[in-house]
Amino acid sequence: MKKPVITVIGSINMDLVATAKRVPEQGETILGETFHLIPGGKGANQAVAAARLGAEVHMIGAVGADAFGTELIQHLERERIFIDNVKPVTDTGTGVAMIVVSEGDNRIIVIPGANHALRPEDIEQCEEVIAKSDVCLLQLEIPLPAVEKAASLAKKHGVLVILNPAPAQPLPASLLEQVDILTPNEHERDIILKELDAVKFAHKLVVTEGARGVSIVKDGQPVVIPGFRVPVVDTTGAGDTFNGALAVALSKGMALEDACRFGNAAAALAVTKLGAQTGMPTEAEVLALIEAEKGGTK
């Protein structure tokens, strides 16, 4: 069977991850437990999730001419992701994210750096690769005009467009009209639809609800696809894993509900390890979890 071809247009960050028993109060200094440099960025995370699940993945993005940039490019190559369209930028550093993980939850500050150097013209140059994709997967850690250009090129070529609207910002209706599937969490959903007719876009929504799973609208009715119960170490990248897996599953022709179940299982496995990409599973691992759940052994 032909591999799904997925083009991810988005951010590439180095995550600076500190773990601590609790988060500090305003003005307080506390001693943490561990520190790790871990590849991240919503775009790169979603690319890695899809590649581990067997897709041919093309990454469009930007990194700085610095040590983090070099390391992240090498990392993407090791994950067998095509990086020909990752642009080197000389006047700003590679994107970084400061992440504090505490009690299985996280707080994140992203400094976009090179990610914000991506322009619509850069995306235009990648029309050929977008055109031959099954899915174009987008997030909001790159400038909105670049996201809009990507969505319109994908639409022009009949490519399925999935937008993970994170971090959230109010979005123009013109963009949402180009998108086939929107994957916000509940908080992001309220922000992106704030100034819009929410009913008009309800059928495009796949709302991630953490451990509860995801909700969609089917035949005008809300349907919840429940999550899988696992021991949680770090939820960073859970949404990214879901999006990468959803893209792979839909490319393979799965129905939306089944694709969401596949995404939920992938995300559940991802949260059992520290770091956004560390626990991202293979297809065999996802299928094993789904089977185990069916057999009632999990």
Annotated catalytic residues are: 240
- When the beta carbons of 112 and 213 are compared against ligand RIB, the nearer one is 112
Give the nearest distance from C-beta 42 to ligand RIB in angstroms. 5
Closer to ligand RIB by CB, 17 or 259: give it: 17
Could you tell me the smallest distance in angstroms from the CB atom of residue 167 to ligand RIB?
Answer: 8
Q: Is 294 exposed, middle or buried (0-12, 13-18, 19+ CB in 10 A)?
A: exposed
* Least distance in angstroms from the C-beta of 81 to ligand RIB: 15
Q: From CA 16, how far away is CA 275, in angstroms rounded?
A: 10
- From residue 196, alpha-carbon distances to 32, 61, 206 in Å are 43, 29, 17
Helices (H) and strands (E) in the chain, counts: 11, 13
Nearer to ligand RIB among residue 4 and residue 112 (C-beta): 112
Place of tokens 């991240």: 40
The CA R_g of the chain, rounded to the nearest whole Å, is 18
217-226, Cβ contacts within 8 angstroms, sequence gap of 24 or more: 218/256, 218/257, 223/257, 225/257, 225/260, 225/261, 225/264, 226/264
Nearer to ligand RIB, 4 or 39 (CB): 39
Nearest-CB residue to ligand RIB? Answer: 40
Measured at the CA of 252, the angle between CA 247 and CA 255, to 5 degrees, comes to 80
Q: How far is the CB of 140 from ligand RIB (least distance, A)?
A: 10
Q: Which residues bind ligand RIB (CB under 6 A)?
A: 11, 13, 15, 40-42, 45, 97, 108, 110, 141, 236-237, 239-240, 276
